[in-house]
Amino acid sequence: MKEQKPLDILRHSAAHIMAAAVKELFPLTKVAIGPSIENGFYYDFDKIEPFTLDDLIKIEEKMKKIIKEDSTFVCLSMPKDEVIKKFQDEGEKYKIEIASQIDEDSLSIYKTGNFTDLCRGPHIASTGQLKYFKLLSVAGAYWKGDSSREQLQRIYGTAFFTKKDLDNYLSKVEEAQRRDHRKLGKDLDLFSVSDIVGSGLILWHHKGVILRDIIENYFKKFHFENGYELLSTPHIASEELFKVSGHLQTYSDSMYASMEVEGKPYRVKPMNCPMHLMIYKTKLHSYKELPIRYAELGTVYRFEKSGVLHGLLRVRGFTQDDGHVIVTPEQLEKEMLEVFNLAIKCLKTFGFNEYKVYIATRPKTKYVGRVEDWERAQSSIENALKKTGYDYEIDEGGGAFYGPKIDIKIRDSIDRLWQCSTIQFDFNLPERFDIYYIDSLGKRARPYMIHRALMGSLERFIGILLEHYIGALPIWLSPIQVAIININESQYEYCSYLLRKLISKGIRVIFDSRNEKIGYKIRESTMQKIPYIAVVGNKEMDTDKISVRARGNKNLGIMGIDDFVSLIKNSF
């Protein structure tokens, strides 16, 4: 069993103390599981009435009393049938189910005060060692993650060894809530979600479409300049395609139900790669042509349970910045290096400059391909990364069944890590689709294949960008770069002229001509986080100038239109 870290032990113990408090306050509640997690702990409960925020306060107070009692955590080993009988007597059906499925004659339970839990441990010595904790939120959760099973309530909390660490974490949580992309998306009128349309399906508003368009144009130009062929493939395909790829056999739980088209079953696509390989197969390829690099902004659809959907970060329909590279075995290391450098260049363009890099290696079981091919691929990946100068960690056994990969996590402005770029080697699809090239001896040879996504998906990446910049996107990404505001109707014609001129210079601009007070219009543009506000009164109109305010309440004074255009262009 993997050795637990002290902080994990503290947090797991906090979950037990929380469960003990819940049972004292709400005796009819059934307890399920309560592990430590990356930033804290949770416990799942079966309670008829929903927990309220007031309940969380009561639970915290009860936990403090249990902590003050300084009860010892006592580990007891009992025969399995006695453990099951004990939980039957207590009516704890989830504990009975867990105990029944453990293939051991003797099970361990932990007792502290009046609360006993089925648990392998370890725990802190006594409840008094938990000093700095906080309950954070309540969410829904299915028992064992199965939507056909009982709906439970999950209480999240966190715990630390010092007050300083707890305060720092809570400050980050508060800051993260302030940056929540769902609120920013609504405030900035970028996107929305409708239950009538369907959960996890994003409705992009006008400004959101502009933002997407900016990123899409960057993607296309960036890839074209770096030797990629741009593709476009359908949203649906015959089931036969996904049988060949193996997705129908291994990925069907994440695919939507089939539809009938002229008597044939079709599916909305969960992946773009099978169609890219069909394009590769339309003609014969020589080794001299390789590597062949394909790229597509392809929208795919995958089933996600409603409980995990989260704004733009977890959706059911999303657009991948997808790429597939077909290489000879000899080209693999060089191309992995090229793709990695492309990913870093792309991420830096959007303002992300700190990363954590991982190599995920061959799983212990359930993998395709020969071990020697895995070792060659993993060696090529590691050799490529060594040349970049970036530190990396080995994620032992973390590769997909079809090949090793590089994962790049970006660090945002409040020190959170986000998984974005993935560079994935694939032994599987070249075999399944029987793709080949003609080698230097005139014989058929099997190429290697690299899947890669630099941003991940547009939806998720935009969500990350909004939280990273708190909605105040860099000027080149801002859907609206300038708001022209007139003081009264007498400047209407001049402002209309300004609007046309700035548009002709390629600047994204709006004219707020509403009959509202100037202060109100300025506040609205400020709240919309528009980088520049051009205020026009009679003095500006008479001198063919504008009064410029920059984001952050900076008054840049009066300037000529050409100087203003240069200011904007130089800000890109």
- Let me know: does 507 contact 566? Beta carbons within 8 Å: no
DSSP class of residue 200 equals T
Q: Which of 181, 405, 508, 521 is catalytic?
A: 405
Q: Which of 247, 293, 320, 412 is catalytic?
A: 320
Active-site residue flag, 320 = yes
Active-site residue flag, 302 = yes
Which candidate, 488, 368, 477, places its Cα nearest to that of 428?
368
Q: Which of 322, 407, 426, 512 is catalytic?
A: 322
Active-site residue flag, 324 = yes
Active-site residue flag, 405 = yes
Calculate the alpha carbon distances from 221 to 230, 296, 420, 451 in Å: 10, 12, 20, 20
SS3 (DSSP) at 419: strand
173-210 as b/e, with b when 16 or more CB fall inside 10 Å? beeeeebbbbebbeebebbebeeeeeebebebbebbeb
Count the neighbouring beta carbons within 10 Å of the beta carbon of residue 40: 21
Which candidate, 446, 139, 170, places its Cα nearest to that of 290?
446
Q: Which of 181, 451, 508, 529 is catalytic?
A: 451
Q: Which of 16, 269, 273, 426 is catalytic?
A: 273
Count Cβ atoms within 10 A of the Cβ of residue 406 and give its class: 0-12 exposed, 13-18 middle, 19 or more buried.
buried
- By DSSP bridging, strand 355-360 and strand 417-426 are unpaired
- H helix count then E strand count, the chain: 18, 28
Q: Which of 134, 302, 460, 521 is catalytic?
A: 302
191 φ, ψ to 5°? -155, 165
Q: Which of 212, 324, 468, 521 is catalytic?
A: 324
- Give the distance, in angstroms, between the CA of residue 543 and the centroid of all CA atoms in the same chain: 50
Active-site residue flag, 153 = no
DSSP class of residue 256 equals P
Active site residues: 273, 302, 320, 322, 324, 405, 451
